[in-house]
Structures are given as C-alpha cells and as structure tokens.
Structure 1
C-alpha cells in the first residue's frame, strides 16, 4: 500500500482510508476505511469509519472512530467517541469521551468526563472528573478526586486506591449534586475511601472515610472507619 505524505479534509469532504504520515480533519469530513499514520487530528466534527493506528491521536473538536484505536498517546480536549477497543500508552481526557469497548493503557488522566463500556486496564489511573466504567478497572495505582454527581465503576482491582471528593460551595448548598463513587466490588492492598457507596470492600489495609456507605468490609491487616460512615458488616480475614 502506498504511503501519502498528508491527508487534509476541510469542510464536508471525504476520503478513502490508507497509510499516511499525517491526517487532519478540519470540518465535518469522513475517512472511509482503516487509517494508519503518525498523527491523526480532529479539529472539526469529523469521523473515521474503520480502525485507526497512529502514534498520536488528538481530538480538539468532535471526533468519532467507528472501529478500534491504537496509539502511543491519545488526547481528547473536545468530544471523542471510539466505538471499539482502545490501546495506548497515555490517555488524557479533558473533554468528554465515550469508549464502546475496553481500554488498555499505561497511564490514564481524566479531568473531564469518561464512559467506558468494557474493562479498563492500566498502570496508573488518575481522575479529577467523572467516570463510568461498565467492567473491571484493573490498575496498580488509582487516585480519584470526585467531581459533583456520580462516578460508577462496576469493579476495582488495584494495589493502592485513594478516593477523595471536591465539595464546592454549590454542593454544600445543594445547588449541585454531591460527589459519590459507586461500585459493586473494591479490592486492593491499600484502600482509602471517602464518599463511596460499595457492596464489598476487600483489602489488607482499609480506611473508610466520611460519607461512605459500605455493605461489607473484609480486611486482613488494619481497618479504620470514620464515625460518620456507615458499614453494615466488618470481617477480619
């Protein structure tokens, strides 16, 4: 397959997929088929109908990828939709993103809003926004600063988890919903929670902070609980 230096789509144009050095979609353009390139940039409201393989993927406007995406780094500043699986070293979401499959990465940082239908596997997961993960979040280090409203992860498996919340003046006066993390199962070596609702929390060292509602805590080392938290059952294992 021939390699074209650069593909630029302005306006509502369209192009076939292929191999390129760079791809830039500035309008509502469409690329039909798979794309392989060194960089893919969405500035408008473009879309690709196939799979994407690139070194850098940047969505500054609104971008939709109907297939899977593989990149060294992915940055979403606008609205990004990737229907398939995502594989990357670094994922940074400052806007809104929706992933229809699973996500595998080395480092994930969220300051916007993210929805992941499948599992999420990464070394480090840092969130200062809102996230919803339909499967398992499997990571070494997880740090979550909860924004207003609900973040939901079906299951969390990690070495170290710290959940904090950022309660603004609007939250205190009930003008915005309170921040909360909901989960079915949280499992790790060191677990430090605040404003978390979970069915089961299992770990070596477990700290249940203010605002938590936990059905069952299972721990093998140390356990502490804030007086304002609600824990129905505590089991030393």
Structure 2
C-alpha cells in the first residue's frame, strides 16, 4: 500500500489542542478582556501560536467558538426537555439550567457577549435557541402553565436579564440568581395578570455593537 497515512493519534492531538485552547482562551478573556493577545492565549494553552491560527483564523473566530460552545449547551438542554410530559416543569428546568450556565461563566459572558454578536454563526445559534424555546413555551401555554402572552423569545431574553440582575452580587452570594429566577417564574405563571404593555418581538433581532467613535 502506498501513499502517506495519518500518524496515529494525530486527530486526537488536534482535538486535545482545541479543547486546551478553548479553555485557556475562556479563562484569559474573562481575566483580561477581549484585548488579550493570541500569544498569551497560546502560552496559557501550552501550544505554539501557529497552532492557534490553524484552529482559528482570527481572534473574532475564537471568541465566536467559545460563545457557540456556551449556546450549544443551553440549546441542548432545551432540546432534551421539549417532549417532557410536564411542560411547565420542563420550562422551569430549562431556565434554571440556562441561568446557572451564565452565572458560572459570568466574567467571560460580561466580556465576550456583545463582541460575539458580530459573528453570523453566533447570531444564527441564538435564533436556533429561540426556535426551540418557542416549542417549550408553546407547550407550557397549552397546558396552562404560563401566561398566554409570553413567547420563547421573552424566555431567552429573561435568561440574560436574570443573570444581569444577579451579577453585581454573585461574588459574595453565588446562588442569589435563584431568587431572581423564582421572581421571574412567578411572573410567567401569574394567572389573572394584567396584559403586558408592549408586544413581544416576532423574532430576536440582536444588533452587533457599534464601533467606538
């Protein structure tokens, strides 16, 4: 047999390097902001700078990959719950999982969230998340578990809102997000509540951040 073969373990090495790179980059961005250099990230990951660029052509691509990984975790949790018998409990579990994920990565989310919206794949991933959460929300409404004027987009936006409300206190009260989540859940389930004063967005349209003047 002729021709060059791939060295055993080379693909495993590539995947391991990528995992180390994403973990190091998440930590670096959380600690130092998005201006941290690719050289610093490579050093933290224990790989050559050239290896970083073999995985990600630019820092923006690296930022997007990390945000996509977080969105994938949240979306997977929604997909797993969308056929649950108790749709109200499923929606509660999804929101708990989502806010908990944001709270765990709070420094990173604060730094990376807005810049990542410039990346089309991230915005598409948010759209897919909204689509799945629409299913969760519609099923909960059909069972009378949440108010009729709530949409999946409302739920996705609430995840970030609850996280932002708790953010200033998370260092000293790391579980305080659960308080604000419960307040939000009570509002979602409130029967006989007044009609919300503004219609929901038909679809979550997030704009990329404006460049500095």
Give TM-score scaled by structure 2 length. 0.26
Structure holding more strand per residue: 1
Structure holding more helix per residue: 2
Relative contact order: is structure 1 or structure 2 higher (C-alpha 8 Å, sep ≥ 6)? 2
